[in-house]
Structure 1
Amino acid sequence: MSDYGHPLTFGSFLTPGNADPARVVALAALSEQVGLDLVTFQDHPYQPAFLDTWTLLSFVAARTSTVRLSANVTNLPLRPPAVLARSVASLDLLSGGRVELGLGAGAFWDAIEAMGGRRLTPAQGVRALEEAIEIIRQTWDADARGGVRVDGEFHRVIGAKRGPAPAHDVGIWLGAYKPRMLALTGRRADGWLPSLAYLQPGDLAKGNAIIDDAAREAGRSPADIRRLLNINGRFATVGRGPLHGPAEQWAEELADLALTDGISTFILGSDDPDDLRRFAAEVAPAVRELVDGERSSSSAVPADSAAGSADSGAAAGPRPAEPAGPQPATGRPASVGRGAFSVVPTPDEGVRRSDIQVWDESARPTGPARDPDRTYTAHDLASSQHLIDVHDGLRAELAQIYDLIEQVAAGTIDAGTARSHINTMTMRQNKWTLGTYCESYCRVVTTHHTIEDRSLFPHLRRGDARLAPVIDRLEQEHHLIHDVLERVDRALVAFVSVPDGMAELRAAVDLLSDTLLSHLSYEERELVEPIARIGVR
């Protein structure tokens, strides 16, 4: 059992596809917005469907301010180490110390050779990688005397000038699986970065043992090497397998990996904005809480496993500031059990920021009165609570929009970047005009897979005809919310050409706040009890 004591960090592993470059950048920016610590991209220079990873990293660095960046992992056979060292150091200086270096010995050798690279055997690849690490470290050691001198079997750099030094101690993380690569990780690297999908049960423990032994033989502490892990999974309302289930299941499984196998950085491979949001907002905090609790209850951490704060391979950057504007409220009761209806809808505080009214709130119909003698199971109540949880995510997105507008006003991002952020949000992708919930709502509140059954409103309408006026009204309001979102988008487009574009933009967002918060509260007030009573199956 190994816990190396590193602080936990969380990141995204994004596909650098070139079919929609703006979306790739928006997902990277979203990763920062939701509070992830790290953004990574695979590096396959021979893949024409991908953007060049180092060009993309540079572009993303200019569009973000706190998140750390890395290739996952850099294709060394097609990137000469002396040039790569200067590229990394330059981007680290330009980004304020936010770049790490994932490295691999190479794969897909036919494609590498077709691009002009040299085909190597596995053993040769490891030796070439060790030579490259030496070249990179010498290049970064700008204060040392003399030039870079590595007269290797595969890389030869004789007398090249050193520098520039990076802005911080860049971590070198190796994508390693076999014993020779694992031993090199222990001798020379700052981190081990495998992918869980490529590992068999027990491989993490075996890999740790090889790395730890090699580190000690090299006079290093095993805690000098951060353990990172690329993961994939699916969120679902019930558990269906490893990393396939609710966020609570993910948190327990990742916490076990942290405490048992020493993993301290989890990098989610997904291009789904909802997955990234849930990973950052639900999984990461729960994992930290579980691990912190176990660590604080442990009697001691082994001396050679205590990382302290001097972790050169850490991926943790500054946490984003609290967003401006309205903050998400939570209606979750302290406990949910059998008995009376205990789910508390989030109330509408009645604050209105806009002079425009898109609907008459006094004309809203109400549903049937609640039966005071009815009791509800924990499952019934959990179904209702799901609606509030999803709404709280939308409330949090509204706060993010206010934060984005403040960044536009301050000149830290442009209107185009703000649009990219907003277009990845759940509320923007909601099929409001259809009067139905978006895909994320459907995943939360129902397990049916047909189009008809994934629409919550028709299901409730069938379950209780008395709800028809309420549902009709909610569907009408969905149309209007769509129009208000379009108004925000138009204001962002006009911002660059309208003399007082910021005033128009703020007014559009204020109107969105008024309509969205009012609508969500009304929907919860009228539907949380029927959802518990009628169910979602």
Structure 2
Amino acid sequence: MSDYGHPLAFGAFLTPGNAEPARVVGLAMLAEQVGFDLVTFQDHPYQPAFLDTWTLMSFVAARTDTVRLAANVTNLPLRPPAVLARSVASLDLLSGGRVELGLGAGAFWEAIEAMGGRRLTPGQGVRALAEAIEVIRQVWDVEARGGVRVDGEFHRVLGAKRGPAPAHDVGIWLGAYKPRMLALTGRRADGWLPSLSYLQPGDLGRGNTIIDDAAQEAGRSPGDVRRLLNITGRFAPVGRGPLDGPAEQWAEELADLALSDGISTFILGSDDPEDLRRFAAEVAPAVRELVAGERAAGTAPTPQTPVPAPPPADRRPPVGAGAFAVVPTPDDGVRRSAIRVWDESTRPTGPAPDPARTYTAHDQASAQHLIDVHDGLRAELTRLYDLVEQVGAGLVDAGTARSHINTMTIRQNKWTLGTYCESYCRVVTTHHTLEDRGVFPHLRRGDDRLAPVLDRLEQEHHAIHDVLERVDRALVAFVSVSDGMAELRAAVDLLSDTLLSHLAYEERELVEPIARLGLN
């Protein structure tokens, strides 16, 4: 058993295709919105169908706020290490410390040669990579005296000035499979980043042994090397094989990889928005729970070096036990549109809470999550307004804007099932289907006095869907209607009125019943 005790993290591995440049950017933004810790991109500079990975990462860094970014992995033969070191440090400074460095020795040598790179044998590639790591670390080490000096077989940097230093200790992760690369990972790297599809049964264990032995021989601890893994799979109702089945199967398999093979970062290779959502909402929380339970049951290893834990999905301070303390978001009463989709005065109200009742911390956290989910939708509404302004300014065309909007939770959410149901049910359980554990049906069964409120909320979900369709139609018409911008802004204003009003109403009526009735 090789659990190194590192905090778990979850990432996305996206294809940087240039046929629809906005799509990959939108997927990266979606990954941040649904809670991924990391977004990575292939780096194949010789591939004309791809965007340049480092240019793409810079653009994505400017469009995101919290998610970390990395090439998966950087094609070193076409990126001189001294220049690469400064590129990484610069983007890390600009992004507030959100860049990591995946490195590979090289592959597809004919394509590399065609681009002006040098073909290397496997042994030469490992030696060149070791020299490159030394160059990169020296460039970043601004406290050392003198210039960068690496007089190597493949890389010669003789006196270059050091700096800039990155904003944080950038991890160097190696895509390694063979013994020499694995040993280099143990001696010099901060992470091991293979792809599961390239591994045979037992390769993870054998690789860990080589890395651990090399680390100890170099005077390091095996825990100094984080273990990451690129994975692919398919979500299906019934399991048909490894990572081919329901979310609970995925969670159990990934938890086993964490506990038995030390994998602490799982990076999903998929360009499907729904796969990204399901992985973040259903799989990642369940893996965290399973691993935390096993670690708590035994003696959990302690990381030998500090590894930043991913930010929790709920950044609000936890609510403790006692009187009900979850505060719904109030409706500010601001209306931008003259159209009224529904009459707010006819909204029913649910039963008044029992003032003598107390609630556990878990009860209150369940209720708080509804507000947190809604806060994500409110943030997306702000992004949508920004996107419309970019369309109006000519910075983004209508087709690109539609592509962005279609990756947003606000658009993909099945409103007829309920905002909260879609998100929360996926987070809290991996043992039952969404239909079996739907929040609305459960609340109906738990307190029939809520039926009028739930009926009204479901009606409003349908209305919100129609309003979203109106925004889409306005985007389509934008290029052919003389005053298309006015129509588009009016459609988004109407969406703002309906969505914010609905979210406030849903919170007002449901946070206490959710805490009181639970989900079981």
Normalised by the length of structure 1, the TM-score is: 0.69
Q: What's the CA shift string for 1:40-70, capped at 9, x where partnerless? A: 0000000000000000000101111110000
How do residues 61-80 of structure 1 correspond to structure 2 at under 5 angstroms? 61-80=61-80
How high is the sequence identity, in percent, across the aligned residues?
71
Q: Does 1:400 align with 2:396?
A: no
Task: Give the superposition deviation at 1:509.
Answer: 2.3
Cα distance change of structure 1 residues 489 and 130 upon mapping to structure 2, 3 Å threshold: farther
Structure 2 CA distance for aligned equivalents of residues 310 and 255 of structure 1: 22
How do residues 256-335 of structure 1 correspond to structure 2 at under 5 angstroms? 256-299=256-299, 301=301, 306-307=302-303, 310-311=306-307, 316-319=309-312
Q: What's the CA shift string for 1:470-500, capped at 9, x where partnerless? A: xxxx999969833444338859989x977x9
Provide the aligned length of Structure 1 versus Structure 2. Answer: 425
Tell me, yes or no, if the aligned pair for 1:405 and 1:506 is still in contact at 8 Å.
Answer: no
Q: Does 1:511 align with 2:498?
A: yes
Q: CA RMSD in A?
A: 4.2
Task: Give the superposition deviation at 1:237.
Answer: 1.3
Structure 2 CA distance for aligned equivalents of residues 3 and 515 of structure 1: 45
Q: Does 1:150 align with 2:126?
A: no
Query: Bigger CA drift: 43-52 or 480-489?
Result: 480-489
Amino acid paired to 2:144 = A
Structure 2 CA distance for aligned equivalents of residues 217 and 480 of structure 1: 62
Query: Bigger CA drift: 80-89 or 394-403?
Result: 394-403
Tell me, yes or no, if the aligned pair for 1:488 and 1:508 is still in contact at 8 Å.
Answer: no
Q: What's the CA shift string for 1:261-293, capped at 9, x where partnerless? A: 000000000001111111111111100000000
Tell me, yes or no, if the aligned pair for 2:248 and 2:283 is still in contact at 8 Å.
Answer: yes
Structure 1 CA distance for aligned equivalents of residues 205 and 505 of structure 2: 52
Tell me, yes or no, if the aligned pair for 1:232 and 1:268 is still in contact at 8 Å.
Answer: yes
Amino acid paired to 2:99 = V
Amino acid paired to 2:130 = E
Secondary structure at the residue paired with 1:264?
strand
Task: Give the superposition deviation at 1:425.
Answer: 3.4
Task: Give the superposition deviation at 1:36.
Answer: 0.4
Q: What's the CA shift string for 1:398-439, capped at 9, x where partnerless? A: 653312234678x8997669876532136635899xxxxxxx
Structure 2 CA distance for aligned equivalents of residues 159 and 412 of structure 1: 47
Tell me, yes or no, if the aligned pair for 2:411 and 2:468 is still in contact at 8 Å.
Answer: no
Secondary structure at the residue paired with 1:212?
helix
Q: Does 1:422 align with 2:418?
A: no
Tell me, yes or no, if the aligned pair for 2:139 and 2:163 is still in contact at 8 Å.
Answer: yes
Tell me, yes or no, if the aligned pair for 2:380 and 2:410 is still in contact at 8 Å.
Answer: no
Query: Bigger CA drift: 263-272 or 503-512?
Result: 503-512
Cα distance change of structure 1 residues 489 and 96 upon mapping to structure 2, 3 Å threshold: farther
Q: What residue number does 1:216 align with?
A: 216
Secondary structure at the residue paired with 2:46?
coil
Tell me, yes or no, if the aligned pair for 1:131 and 1:154 is still in contact at 8 Å.
Answer: yes
How do residues 241-252 of structure 1 correspond to structure 2 at under 5 angstroms? 241-252=241-252
Amino acid paired to 2:183 = A
Q: What residue number does 1:486 align with?
A: 470
Structure 2 CA distance for aligned equivalents of residues 478 and 90 of structure 1: 47
Q: What residue number does 2:324 align with?
A: none
Structure 2 CA distance for aligned equivalents of residues 71 and 183 of structure 1: 22
Q: What residue number does 2:441 align with?
A: none
Cα distance change of structure 1 residues 403 and 41 upon mapping to structure 2, 3 Å threshold: same
Secondary structure at the residue paired with 2:13?
strand
Cα distance change of structure 1 residues 222 and 322 upon mapping to structure 2, 3 Å threshold: closer
Task: Give the superposition deviation at 1:513.
Answer: 5.8
Cα distance change of structure 1 residues 113 and 15 upon mapping to structure 2, 3 Å threshold: same
Q: What residue number does 1:383 align with?
A: none
Cα distance change of structure 1 residues 509 and 49 upon mapping to structure 2, 3 Å threshold: same
Cα distance change of structure 1 residues 160 and 242 upon mapping to structure 2, 3 Å threshold: same
How do residues 55-134 of structure 1 correspond to structure 2 at under 5 angstroms? 55-134=55-134
Structure 1 CA distance for aligned equivalents of residues 165 and 341 of structure 2: 57
Cα distance change of structure 1 residues 254 and 480 upon mapping to structure 2, 3 Å threshold: closer
Structure 2 CA distance for aligned equivalents of residues 148 and 199 of structure 1: 37
Task: Give the superposition deviation at 1:299.
Answer: 3.4
Amino acid paired to 1:401 = L
Structure 2 CA distance for aligned equivalents of residues 491 and 104 of structure 1: 42
